[in-house]
Amino acid sequence: MKLSPHTAPVEPTDLLIRFHNQVGAAIDVTGSLSRARWSCHGCGDTGYEYAVHLTREDTNGHATACRAAYHRFQR
Ligand SMILES: [Zn+2]
């Protein structure tokens, strides 16, 4: 059983930005500059696909609120 936050998962090839939530779990922004989405390794939530400057704002909001360290389900 993994008890520590998922801080450094394998970097996807289309990784654009990596944020960390309140407990250090990674949140990856992937895709392209015109179509990017985020995925949280702490709680498993994902964001909608937007231009990267909008996705960055959305991801930062999630990182500020999320306190999950690890999840076991797949979306
Ligand atoms: Zn989260």
**What is the 2 CA–ligand 1 centroid distance (Å)?**
16
Q: How many domains does the chain have?
A: 1
Q: Is 60 a domain residue?
A: yes
- Residue by residue, pLDDT tens for the chain (75 residues) are 566 888 899 999 999 999 999 999 999 999 999 999 999 999 999 999 999 999 999 999 999 999 999 887 765
Name the H helices within the chain. 52-65
**What is the 69 CA–ligand 1 centroid distance (Å)?**
8
Q: Is 24 a domain residue?
A: yes
Q: Is 9 a domain residue?
A: no
pLDDT at 23: 95
pLDDT at 2: 63
Query: Which structural domain, as residue segments, surrounds residue 41?
Result: 15-65
**What is the 9 CA–ligand 1 centroid distance (Å)?**
14
**What is the 18 CA–ligand 1 centroid distance (Å)?**
13
Q: Is 6 a domain residue?
A: no
Q: Is 2 a domain residue?
A: no
Are 34 and 21 spatial neighbours (Cβ–Cβ below 8 Å)?
no
**What is the 22 CA–ligand 1 centroid distance (Å)?**
9
Q: Which helix (H) or strand (E) holds 26?
A: strand 26-31
pLDDT at 6: 86
Q: Is 31 a domain residue?
A: yes
